[in-house]
Amino acid sequence: MDAVIKAFGSWMRRSSIMPTPADIVNIIDPPAPKPDWAAYVSIRQRMKDPYTFVMDDEKAYVRYCERYSVDKLNSYDQRQEAQEQLAEAQSRLLPSGDDYDHSI
């Protein structure tokens, strides 16, 4: 509860409109930053060179970017699957006769 109250206070210092629940959630648990793909490509190219030293933080950043991509792909697949299931459920519920008005 304290985190929610602090999040509301933080929001009200920045904005004059009422926050949505998603705004409060993003203050309490902010989304992960999007990768800088140019930096990712640069580090990956340097990693291929056996004579170039790549720091552990850079290697960790590459792993983060790759994990981010896999997570995005998985969430996209899950959304696609959910949409297909919804379409299938709707098709079972709707009558298949020609006299049905689908414009409603």
Q: How far is CA 92 from CA 48, 79, 85, 89, in A?
A: 53, 20, 11, 5
Give the pLDDT band (50/70/90) at residue 6. Answer: very high
- Read off the amino acid at residue 80: Q
Q: Quick one: 22 and 37 in the same domain?
A: no
Q: Quick one: 43 and 74 in the same domain?
A: yes
Q: Quick one: 70 and 36 in the same domain?
A: yes
Tell me, yes or no, whether 80 lies in a domain: yes
Report the distance separating Cα 97 and Cα 95, nearest Å: 6
pLDDT of residue 83: 85
Q: Quick one: 44 and 10 in the same domain?
A: no
Tell me, yes or no, whether 47 lies in a domain: yes
Q: Quick one: 49 and 76 in the same domain?
A: yes
pTM of the model: 0.55
Using CB atoms within 10 A of its CB, is residue 85 exposed (0-12), middle (13-18) or buried (19+)?
A: exposed
Q: Quick one: 26 and 39 in the same domain?
A: no
Domain of 14, in residue numbers: 1-31
Q: Quick one: 78 and 38 in the same domain?
A: yes
Q: Quick one: 13 and 58 in the same domain?
A: no
Q: Quick one: 80 and 53 in the same domain?
A: yes
Of 69, 82, 7, 22, nearest in space to 41 by CA:
69
Burial state string for 57-69 with b = 16 or more CB within 10 A and e = fewer than 16: ebeebbeebeeee
Give the pLDDT band (50/70/90) at residue 45. Answer: very high
53-86 pLDDT, tens digit each: 999 999 999 999 999 999 888 888 888 888 888 8
Report the distance separating Cα 63 and Cα 69, nearest Å: 10
Q: Quick one: 39 and 27 in the same domain?
A: no
